[in-house]
Amino acid sequence: MEQGTSISLDSLDFSILAHLQEDGRKSFTDIAEEMGVSVGTVRNRYNKLVQENVLHIIGWTDPVKAGFNAYARVTVDVKPISKLDAVAEALLNIDEISFLAYTSGDHDLEINLQCKDNKHLMTLMHESINTIDGVHDTHTTVYFQVLKWASHDVGRVFTEKAETKEVEVQHS
């Protein structure tokens, strides 16, 4: 996993991000009008944010409405710890995993799974995750009902008074 490089984002960048989080299909023209800047400025900043992997353009699908009714959080213990990166790489290849992170504390990794149903979840755990070399133990929490799906609101992170904020960006 690569180290990030530092780039500077200013209030204009964060304002563009906030507009796109509110409505990802909002035109550059509308954003520019609301911000009082040129369309070219918005387009150039947008392109920079995408190029630097700060902004990712995706179509988010509600998993429940798409038929994925079993959603779970799983913590993974790896032994020996020297296999941690190999286990993480193997987990990256499992389509049902929507989130993967190294963690501190009692467990080494945390994943979120989106499965069609509990049988699919159980099969995935037994045949795909628990069989990865280095996976020592897993702890699964099944979510009965997700009450909120949301991305991080960058508008709350960045205040209008700050002129520049250094952000670590991971390049893949």
Domain with 78 in it: what CATH number? 3.30.70.920
pTM of the model: 0.68
Q: State which residues form the domain around 90.
A: 70-143
- Do 139 and 75 lie in one domain? The reply is yes
Instruction: Judge whether 116 and 69 are in contact, CB under 8 Å.
Output: yes
Q: Which residues contact 27 (CB under 8 A, 6 or more apart)?
A: none
Residue 94, in any domain of the structure: yes
pLDDT of 152: 63
Q: What is the pLDDT along the chain (172 residues), one digit of tens a residue?
A: 345 567 788 889 989 998 998 888 999 999 999 999 999 999 999 999 999 988 988 877 777 787 888 999 999 999 999 999 999 999 999 999 999 999 999 999 999 999 999 999 999 999 999 999 999 999 999 999 888 876 666 665 554 444 455 555 544 4
Instruction: Judge whether 49 and 168 are in contact, CB under 8 Å.
Output: no
Residue 65, in any domain of the structure: no
pLDDT of 4: 57
Residue with tokens 């690569």: 2
Residue with tokens 């795909």: 128
